[in-house]
């Protein structure tokens, strides 16, 4: 990932500057480029090269991270110090070891971790080529969970229950009573409920004498719900169902059905 | 087949059932930046899948044909073992009302909400929302009926969950599709005839 | 082994690396509502895993030992094929700066931000955030040092991402763990002082 620079041309330099992970990285690169021994760095040469790179960065209008400038200051300080005769150095430093060793140590340690990072990168490259099995739970969006532990038996049983209740309802009264038509009951419902008004579901049927009338009225109600003239509401399971007349009925209201409605009719069922 | 190991790797890593035609297409195209086997035919893939199925049997894995494609899964008799693994927890079961709605849709799709409600005799908007959210039903189009109501049908996930190759595999599908149901708007209208027509093929019973 | 097919089904279905000891425990316990093999030993499981690994090789799959457990994956040479599948994405690779930060943390955990920065010589808050976000490092506690800075360490996902069995498998781990690091609290050069200043403030938690 770190390109080795042969010629510091402007194009190459741009690539290079983006690639250096920090001032230590740049210093290591310069040491290698100048074929210096890391234990015997020539501070003057290194500082000169380093500052030249920063100048190039400035010319290229690249944002120079603050750390690069701090390092430049450190290098200048170390260089200036080598120019001073030993007797002119601050007395507390005469006894101490050359502070450039601190930089060298830092460079050596950094280089070890940089190499380790390179090895990690190689491992990463290899192992990113191995794919595990993606659990279904993760691949389908969290909302798409399937029906849970429902068996085919449950499904058939549920459908047969529906059919039974239909039969019961059919036995209890004929589905289409001669006396009532769905059209009549639609009018009845629209008459009974003014826009915005609501009524308990059971109350709608209270006055009705025959089961046939109930069924036809129910069908009329379903039709009106389908046409968005009526709205069936329930606050929760086992709570009473309320039927409300829409305030501003919209005959064709796909927006009420959510975002999926817009893309309808493309997919045919399997 | 020299591409047999590619086939098994693809089936292993796939996130959805793989159709033999698509597997053949991938094998012909080759990998990213590489060469494939341009002569691979769908029938050869099918033959190889049949062999793979046999090889998997003694290994606790099975090749299932679901939702029009093939998918490797654990053998059904080992489900009690697999259930002990962390992270394979199943989503909660559907409630009985939701199950009823799903059953009606499975057998009578495409079907509108009003039609489902006419059959079940209760408001189904909540259960329909649940089923769409769970990914087992989806909006498949719009009816030509007045108001152009939205129609619902089952998804590939529905087939996958129940291990069905296609809807014909639903138990008693012929009979249950033919049963006359109450229609919401116009009893005895053209919808019924359409439904009967749909169930013209015999369905295998599971 | 009569339980070999159970073993393969478990490894297939697992969503995380499976430790041999845990596999042995599951085999002993038995399935939900069923009988297991009470005499299964961890070593037998390890032997069977070695055999499974050999059986998988010609089939485009491999058994990897990562993060203390075993996991089935697709063979590396087939990555170009698998990458063509819908929904299968390679985890993006880490950038060179992130890798450097990763390396310092991997070898020197638990470690504070200031300590990482002392090694790398640059501000590391961005790369630390990235690594936490990717799930390869996490906050493991607080140092007793002044300012009680937050300490970072690697996660099991780190081992998995880099295909490592454990931290001992890190290359040159002995040497790099021993190397004396430039201490951020050592009032040496001007740069060090800056870091001390930073480290004295409570580190922001990402």
Q: Which of A154-158, B201-205, C19-23 has the highest mean pLDDT?
A: C19-23
Confidence class for position C200, pLDDT limits 50, 70, 90? very low
- Give the model's pLDDT for residue A96: 61
**Residue C145 has what DSSP assignment?**
S
pLDDT of residue A259 exceeding 50:
no
- Give the model's pLDDT for residue A248: 62
| B117 and B167 share one domain | yes
Tell me the pLDDT tens digit for each residue of C111-149: 999 999 999 999 999 999 999 988 899 999 888 888 889
- Angle at Cα A120 formed by Cα A114 and Cα A122, nearest 5°? 110
Which residues of chain C from 129 to 158 reach within 8 Å of chain A, CB to CB? none
Q: Flag whether B74 is in a domain.
A: yes
Confidence class for position A139, pLDDT limits 50, 70, 90? very low
| B101 and B73 share one domain | no
- Give the model's pLDDT for residue B96: 79
CA distance to partner chain C, nearest, from residue B133 (Å): 20
Under an 8 A CB cutoff, do A67 and C122 touch?
yes
Which residues of chain B from 31 to 90 reach within 8 Å of chain C, CB to CB? 31-34, 58-61, 72, 74-75, 78-88
* Residue C145, both tokens: 């040092």
- Give the model's pLDDT for residue C32: 80
The model carries a pTM of 0.58
Average pLDDT over residues C57-72: 91
pLDDT of residue C150 exceeding 80:
yes
- Give CA–CA dist C6/C12, Å, rounded: 10
Place of tokens 């009569």: C2
- Give the model's pLDDT for residue A268: 31
Tell me the pLDDT tens digit for each residue of B90-140: 556 778 788 888 888 988 889 999 989 888 888 888 889 888 888 889 888
- Give the model's pLDDT for residue C174: 76
Pairs of residues, one from chain A and one from chain C, whose beta carbons lie less than 8 Å apart: 143
Q: Which residue has the higher pLDDT, A7 or A247?
A: A247
Q: Flag whether B17 is in a domain.
A: yes
Chosen domain end from B21, B49, B78: B78
Q: Flag whether C124 is in a domain.
A: yes
pLDDT of residue B51 exceeding 60:
yes
Residues in chain A with CB shorter than 8 Å from the CB of C167 are none
| C132 and C70 share one domain | no
| B121 and B152 share one domain | yes
Q: Flag whether C187 is in a domain.
A: no
Average model confidence (pLDDT) across chain C: 84
| C169 and C100 share one domain | yes
Q: For residue C74, what are the domain limits?
A: 4-78
pLDDT of residue B22 exceeding 60:
yes
Average pLDDT over residues C189-204: 39
pLDDT of residue B184 exceeding 90:
no
pLDDT of residue A212 exceeding 70:
no
pLDDT of residue C206 exceeding 50:
no
Complex ipTM more than 0.85, yes or no: no
- Give the model's pLDDT for residue B91: 59
Average pLDDT over residues B11-15: 90
| C73 and C124 share one domain | no
| B69 and B137 share one domain | no
Phi, psi angles (nearest 5°) of residue C70? -115, 145
pLDDT of residue A240 exceeding 70:
no
Confidence class for position C63, pLDDT limits 50, 70, 90? very high
CATH number, domain with residue C151: 1.10.10.10
Closest CA in chain B for residue C11: B82
Domain count, chain C: 2
Confidence class for position A6, pLDDT limits 50, 70, 90? very low
Q: Flag whether B203 is in a domain.
A: no
């Amino acid at each position: 990932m770190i390109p080795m620079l042969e010629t510091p041309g402007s194009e190459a330099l741009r690539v290079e500057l983006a690639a250096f992970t920090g001032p230590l990285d740049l210093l290591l690169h310069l040491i290698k480029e100048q074929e210096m021994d890391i234990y015997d760095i020539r501070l003057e040469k290194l500082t000169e090269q380093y500052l030249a790179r920063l100048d190039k960065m400035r010319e290229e209008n690249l944002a120079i991270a603050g750390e690069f400038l701090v390092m430049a200051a450190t290098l200048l300080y170390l260089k200036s110090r080598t120019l001073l005769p030993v007797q002119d150095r601050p007395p507390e430093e005469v006894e101490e070891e050359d502070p450039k060793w601190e930089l060298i140590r830092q460079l050596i340690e950094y280089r070890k971790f940089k190499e380790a990072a390179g090895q990690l990168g190689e491992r990463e490259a290899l192992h990113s080529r191995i794919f595990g099995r993606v659990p279904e739970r993760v691949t389908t969006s969290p909302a798409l969970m399937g029906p849970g532990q429902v068996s085919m038996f449950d499904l058939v049983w549920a459908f047969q229950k529906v059919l039974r209740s239909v039969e019961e309802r059919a036995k209890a009264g004929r589905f289409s009573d001669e006396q009532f038509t769905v059209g009549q009951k639609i009018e009845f419902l629209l008459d009974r409920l003014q826009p915005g008004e609501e009524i308990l579901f059971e109350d709608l049927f209270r006055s009705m004498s025959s089961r046939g009338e109930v069924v036809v009225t129910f069908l009329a109600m379903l039709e009106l719900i389908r046409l968005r003239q009526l709205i069936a509401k329930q606050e929760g399971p086992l709570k009473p169902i309320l039927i409300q007349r829409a305030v501003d009925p919209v005959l064709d209201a796909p927006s009420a059905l959510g975002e999926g409605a817009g893309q309808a009719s493309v997919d045919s069922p399997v | 087949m020299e591409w047999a190991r590619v086939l098994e790797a693809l089936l292993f890593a796939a996130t959805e059932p793989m159709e033999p035609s698509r597997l053949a297409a991938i094998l012909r195209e080759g990998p990213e930046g590489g060469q494939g086997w341009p002569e691979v035919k769908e029938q050869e893939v099918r033959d190889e899948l049949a062999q793979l199925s046999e090889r998997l049997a003694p290994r606790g894995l099975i090749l299932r044909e679901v939702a029009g494609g093939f998918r490797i899964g654990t053998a059904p008799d080992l489900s009690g073992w697999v259930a002990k693994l962390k992270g394979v927890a199943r989503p909660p079961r559907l409630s009985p009302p939701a199950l009823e709605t799903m059953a009606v849709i499975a057998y009578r799709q495409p079907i509108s909400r009003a039609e489902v409600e006419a059959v079940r005799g209760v408001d189904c908007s909540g259960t329909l929302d649940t089923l769409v959210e769970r990914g087992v039903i989806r909006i498949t189009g719009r009816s030509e009926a007045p108001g152009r109501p939205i129609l619902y049908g089952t998804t590939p996930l529905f087939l996958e969950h129940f291990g069905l190759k296609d809807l014909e595999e639903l138990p008693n599908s012929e009979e249950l599709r033919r049963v006359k149901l109450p229609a919401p708007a116009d009893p005895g209208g053209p919808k019924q005839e359409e439904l009967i027509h749909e169930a013209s093929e015999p369905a295998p019973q599971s």
